[in-house]
């Protein structure tokens, strides 16, 4: 596979920034708003945004079940921030009717770092990403409370007295608590593009 076709779920969130980062990392991108657009993808990104809104809109647009089916079928998927919440099997502090797409054997805490005013940036060493630390931008971000035995933790950050997993991988699924798409550094997206190529 020379140029993989990677969709970005485009119902809400920072779609444009993810598409730019993926294209810088060597992929062709598609904005995904309809179920039939999922059929021909080699990979998919679930962007940051508001996880409850994205959840509701995927159900409204008839995307929820097709998304769950493609994830279960082994489609490589990368979720950032809200996307991590959508990929997690379990949520703490979610809305009562909030659902996830699942796939990652994780319990994540929604808005774990606090509200918008508690947003911050730091440099993180991420396993599998060469070239020095990654600038991590946390905006109302989740963290991983509990990870199953198949989940590989690629980076942690010290917060509230403990090391919190903020980059995880399980098979063909990748998730970050932060927003690499807003920094102009495409290395996390390059890691995902390589995962997509390997899956093909």
Domain ranges of the chain: 5-199
**Residue 117 pLDDT:** 46
Catalytic site includes residue 81: yes
For residues 167 and 147, is the Cβ–Cβ distance under 8 A? Answer: no
**Residue 110 pLDDT:** 76
**Residue 40 pLDDT:** 92
Own/partner long-range contacts of 88-94 (Cβ < 8 Å, ≥24 apart): 88/142, 88/175, 90/146, 92/145, 94/51, 94/52
Q: Is 79 annotated as a binding residue?
A: no
Output the tens digit of pLDDT for each of the chain's 200 residues. Answer: 689 999 999 999 889 999 999 999 999 999 999 999 999 999 999 998 888 899 999 999 999 999 999 999 999 999 999 999 999 999 987 677 778 999 999 999 876 665 554 577 899 999 999 999 999 998 888 889 999 999 999 999 987 777 889 999 999 999 999 999 999 999 999 999 999 999 98
Catalytic-role residue among 17, 18, 145, 181 = 181
Task: Name the residue with tokens 């979720």.
Answer: 79
Pick the CATH number of 5-199 from 3.40.630.10, 3.40.50.880, 3.40.50.720, 3.40.50.300: 3.40.50.880
Tell how many helices (H) and how many strands (E) occur in the chain: 5, 12
Beta strands in 95-159 (DSSP E): 104-109, 120-124, 134-138, 143-147, 152-159
pTM of the full structure: 0.94
Strands 120-124 and 134-138: antiparallel
Q: Is 49 annotated as a binding residue?
A: yes
Catalytic-role residue among 18, 81, 145, 189 = 81
Catalytic site includes residue 181: yes
For residues 157 and 61, is the Cβ–Cβ distance under 8 A? Answer: no
Q: Is 110 annotated as a binding residue?
A: yes
Give the contacts of 55 (CB within 8 A, at least 6 positions apart): 64, 86, 98, 99, 100
Q: Is 115 annotated as a binding residue?
A: no
Catalytic site includes residue 179: yes
């Amino acid at each position: 596979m020379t140029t993989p076709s990677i969709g970005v779920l485009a119902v809400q969130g920072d779609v444009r920034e993810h598409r730019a980062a993926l294209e810088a990392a060597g992929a062709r991108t598609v904005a995904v708003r309809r179920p039939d657009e999922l059929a021909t993808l080699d990979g998919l990104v679930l962007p940051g945004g508001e996880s409850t809104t994205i959840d509701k809109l995927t159900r409204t647009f008839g995307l929820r079940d097709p998304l769950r089916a493609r994830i279960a079928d082994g489609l490589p998927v990368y979720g950032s921030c809200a996307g991590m919440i959508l990929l997690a099997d379990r949520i703490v502090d979610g809305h009562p009717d909030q659902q996830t797409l699942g796939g990652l054997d994780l319990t994540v805490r929604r808005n774990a770092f606090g509200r918008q005013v508690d947003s911050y940036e730091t440099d993180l060493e991420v396993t599998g990403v060469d070239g020095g630390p990654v600038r991590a931008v946390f905006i109302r971000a989740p963290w991983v409370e509990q990870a199953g035995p198949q989940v590989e933790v690629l980076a942690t950050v010290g917060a509230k007295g403990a090391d919190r997993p903020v980059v995880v991988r399980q098979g063909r699924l990748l998730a970050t608590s932060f927003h690499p798409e807003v920094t102009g550094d495409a290395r996390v997206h390059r890691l995902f593009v390589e995962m997509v190529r390997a899956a093909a």
